[in-house]
């Protein structure tokens, strides 16, 4: 029997707004670092659901934490105290090694950034925000012109993701911190993509030894359960009246259970060490075939390609390996789960070796 037209449309995805470019891949299930498509074929996931699946798929402790919390209490808002929320915040601050920070949980990276900017504008009484983009990299002289006494805050991704895994580096970020201090502007680190262990350090702030006034993070934080966090200095927090920030779902118990499980797993499975090791292994072994150089930190890897990266990406997918691209058309971006193993890097190396240079 033929399904009714509307059901057919639903099955084929016709009711979804076609606003995303899609990979030619329909995922039916996933386990560890492997996706299985609807034809039953396995694909090695070096994209991690856009840097989200830090623990890979079906991680037992993460799955159990969510199931347990769902049974205990699936939701209460911030109007009600919850032990799981308090624990998640404490664990995040300890993990970040930024003991003077306070946490506001929200739902997405964009929401965390919006709140960071709102706090900066509100507490400074200034109206100007500076955002550091790719072109700024290394141009410390330009900072003086762009960051002034009018500037409420500077927002920067210390290791840029979409730009193609670009580490802005300790020198540049240190100069930025100094300039912000000089003019009384707040420094916001957007660690939505590069945070929660992806660099092999809790945050890029730790990697580079620079403390921002506000830090936003998301993606890997929930391993796929939607959540994000805004960390702010206790001094800034003290200036915020009660009810000055709002969210319905942020800090919900399911999200907090996911956050607690993620941070616990990163620590107990020594995943930061693994991220550093695997990042180094990819850099040492995968500059082969169409890859001519590498950039980035830890498992936020940019592989520079001699040909358009989209071509290489499509060829890798034919070999059963999913990689990402970047706004730089000649960078293949890898954001794999932290549980990746050496043998998976060897699969990538061997596949790249077989591709035309
Ligand atoms: N900041 C950075 C650096 C990101 O990479 C992204 C998303 O890719 C965002 C913010 C927005 O995060 P979200 O999609 O969770 O709102």
Question: Ligand 1 pocket: which of 110, 114, 162, 302 to mutate (most atoms <8 Å of CB)?
Answer: 110
pLDDT of residue 12: 63
CA distance 92 to 232: 12
Coil vs helix vs strand at 340: coil
> How does residue 141 score in pLDDT terms, banded at 50, 70 and 90?
confident
- Mean pLDDT on 319-333: 98
Could you say which DSSP state residue 306 is in?
S
CA distances to 37, 210, 222, 254 from 227, rounded to whole Å, are: 26, 25, 6, 9
80-91 pLDDT per residue, tens: 999 999 999 999
- How many Cβ atoms are within 10 Å of 78's Cβ, its own excluded? 17
Q: Does domain 60-268 have CATH number 3.40.50.880?
A: no
Q: Cα(109) to centroid of ligand 1, in Å?
A: 5
3-state helix, strand, coil in the chain (%, to 5): 40, 20, 40
CA distances to 104, 248, 299 from 112, rounded to whole Å, are: 8, 14, 23
* Burial label, 245 (beta-carbon count in 10 A; 0-12, 13-18, 19+): middle
> How does residue 11 score in pLDDT terms, banded at 50, 70 and 90?
low
245-271 pLDDT per residue, tens: 999 999 999 999 999 999 999 999 999
Listed by start position, the domains of the chain span 4-58+270-353, 60-268
Question: Ligand 1 pocket: which of 106, 193, 230 to mutate (most atoms <8 Å of CB)?
Answer: 193
pLDDT of residue 65: 98
- Mean pLDDT on 322-334: 98
pLDDT of residue 140: 77
Average pLDDT over the chain reads 94
Give the side-chain half-sphere CA count within 13 A for 254. Answer: 15
268-291 pLDDT per residue, tens: 999 999 999 999 999 999 999 999
Q: 10 pLDDT exceeds 50?
A: no
The set of protein residues with a Cβ atom below 6 angstroms from ligand 1 is: 108-110, 113, 157, 161-162, 190, 192-193, 218
**pTM of this structure:** 0.95
Could you say which DSSP state residue 225 is in?
S
Question: Ligand 1 pocket: which of 203, 204, 219, 225 to mutate (most atoms <8 Å of CB)?
Answer: 219
Q: Whose CA is nearest to atom 10 of ligand 1?
A: 109
Q: Is beta strand 300-305 parallel, antiparallel or unpaired with respect to 291-297?
A: antiparallel
pLDDT of residue 4: 44
Q: Does domain 4-58+270-353 have CATH number 3.40.50.800?
A: no
Coil vs helix vs strand at 274: helix
Nearest Cα to Cα of residue 350 among 44, 25, 34: 44
Q: Which atom of ligand 1 is nearest to the CA of 111?
A: 16
- Mean pLDDT on 147-168: 96
Q: Whose CA is nearest to atom 12 of ligand 1?
A: 109
Q: Is beta strand 186-190 parallel, antiparallel or unpaired with respect to 228-233?
A: unpaired
Q: Cα(314) to centroid of ligand 1, in Å?
A: 24
pLDDT of residue 104: 98
Q: Whose CA is nearest to atom 7 of ligand 1?
A: 109
Q: How far separated are the first and last CA of the chain, in Å rounded?
A: 50
Q: 5 pLDDT exceeds 90?
A: no
CA distance 20 to 22: 6
> How does residue 136 score in pLDDT terms, banded at 50, 70 and 90?
low
């Amino acid at each position: 029997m033929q399904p009714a037209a509307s059901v057919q449309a639903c099955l084929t995805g016709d009711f979804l707004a076609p606003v995303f470019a899609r990979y030619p891949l329909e995922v039916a299930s996933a386990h560890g670092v492997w996706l299985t498509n609807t034809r039953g074929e396995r694909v090695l996931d070096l994209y991690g659901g856009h840097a989200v699946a830090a623990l890979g798929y079906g991680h037992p402790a993460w799955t159990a934490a969510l199931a347990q919390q769902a049974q205990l209490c699936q939701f209460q808002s911030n109007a009600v105290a919850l032990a799981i929320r308090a624990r998640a915040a404490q664990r995040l601050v300890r993990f970040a090694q930024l003991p003077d920070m306070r946490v506001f949980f929200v739902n997405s990276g964009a929401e965390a950034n919006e709140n960071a900017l709102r706090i900066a504008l509100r507490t400074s009484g200034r109206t100007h925000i500076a955002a550091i983009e790719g072109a700024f990299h290394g141009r410390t002289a330009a900072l003086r012109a762009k960051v002034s006494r009018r500037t409420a805050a500077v927002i920067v991704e210390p290791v840029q993701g979409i730009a193609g895994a670009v580490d802005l580096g300790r020198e540049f970020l240190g100069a930025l911190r100094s300039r912000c201090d000089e003019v009384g502007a707040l420094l916001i680190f957007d660690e939505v993509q590069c945070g929660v262990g992806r660099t092999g350090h809790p945050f890029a702030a730790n990697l580079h030894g620079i403390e921002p006034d506000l830090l936003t993070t998301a993606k890997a934080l929930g391993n796929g359960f939607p959540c994000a966090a805004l960390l702010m200095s206790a001094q800034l927090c003290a200036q915020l009246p009660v009810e000055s920030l709002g969210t319905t779902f942020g800090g919900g118990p399911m999200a907090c259970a996911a956050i607690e499980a993620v941070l616990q797993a990163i620590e107990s499975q020594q995943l930061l060490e693994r991220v550093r090791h695997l990042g180094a292994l990819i850099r040492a072994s995968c500059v082969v075939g169409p890859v001519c150089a590498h950039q980035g930190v830890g498992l936020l890897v940019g592989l520079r390609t001699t040909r358009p990266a989209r071509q290489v990406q499509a060829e890798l997918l034919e070999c059963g390996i999913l990689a990402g691209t970047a706004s730089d058309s000649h960078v293949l971006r890898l954001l794999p789960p932290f549980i990746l193993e050496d043998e998976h890097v060897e699969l990538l190396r061997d596949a790249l070796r077989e591709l035309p240079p």
